[in-house]
Chains A and B, each alone.
Chain A
Amino acid sequence: MDAVPLLSLKGISKAFGAVVALEGVDFEISRPEVVALVGDNGAGKSTLIKIISGVLHADSGQIRVEGLPVRYTGPESPKLLGIETVYQDLALVNTFDTIQNIYLGREITGLGGIFLDHKRMHQEAKKHLTTLDINLPSIRKKVRYLSGGQRQAVAISRATGWGAKLIIMDEPTAALGVKESRQVLKVVKTLRASNVSVILVSHNIEHVFAITDRITVLRHGRVVASRQTHATSPEEIVRLITGASLAQ
Chain B
Amino acid sequence: MDLANGKKREGRRTPDLTNDSRSSPETDSPESRSNRLATKGGEHRYRETILQLGLYGALLILIGFFSVCSPYFFTVTNAENILLQASIVGMVAIAQTFVIVSGGIDLSVGSMIGLTGVTAGFVALRPDTGPILPFFAAITMGALAGAVNGGLIAMFRIPPFIVTLASLYAARGLALILTNTQNLYGFNPGFKFVGAGRIAGFPIIILIFISLSVIAYVLQEHTRFARHVYAIGGGRRAAEFFGVSVRRVELILYAVSGAVAGLAGAALAARVASAEPTAGIGFELTAIAAVIIGGTSLSGGEGGVQRSIVGMLILAIISNGLNLMAVPSYYQQVISAAVIVVAVVADQWSKARAE
Contacts and interface: CB of A to CB of B under 8 A. Distances in A.
B224 A115 contact: yes
A100 B233 CA distance: 14
Interface in A131-159: 137, 141, 144-147, 150
A105 B234 contact: no
B24 to A, nearest CB: 10
B287 to A, nearest CB: 22
Contacts of B45: 141, 145
A113 B227 CA distance: 13
Contacts of A231: none
B238 A92 contact: yes
B223 A115 contact: yes
Interface in B7-23: 21-22
Contact of B244 (A105, A141, A150): A105
Contact of A114 (B28, B225, B233): B225
B234 A94 contact: yes
Contact of B38 (A91, A92, A137): A137
A66 B25 CA distance: 41
Contacts of A118: 222
Interface string A141-180: 1001111001000000000000000000000000001110
A198 B238 CA distance: 22
Interface stretch (B29-37, B59-67, B149-157): B29-37
A194 interface: no
Contacts, number: 88
Given A114-B223, A145-B44, A147-B37, A105 B233 contact: no
Interface residues of A, number: 28
Contacts of A114: 223-225
A144 B354 contact: yes
Given A104-B244, A179-B34, A141 B238 contact: no
Interface string A88-106: 0001111110001000111
Interface in B216-256: 222-225, 227, 230-231, 233-235, 237-239, 241-244
B190 to A, nearest CB: 33
Interface string A209-237: 00000000000000000000000000000
B2 interface: no
A92 B239 CA distance: 8
B41 interface: yes
B224 A109 contact: yes
A53 B88 CA distance: 50
Contact of B238 (A93, A147, A177): A93
Most buried by B among A114, A118, A147: A147
Given A95-B302, A104-B231, 18 more contacts: A91-B241, A92-B235, A93-B234, A93-B235, A95-B233, A100-B227, A104-B239, A104-B242, A107-B227, A115-B223, A115-B224, A118-B222, A137-B41, A141-B45, A144-B354, A146-B37, A178-B30, A179-B33
24 contacts: A91-B242, A92-B235, A93-B234, A94-B301, A100-B231, A104-B242, A105-B244, A106-B243, A107-B227, A115-B222, A115-B224, A116-B224, A137-B38, A137-B41, A145-B41, A145-B44, A145-B45, A146-B37, A147-B34, A150-B37, A177-B22, A177-B25, A177-B28, A178-B26
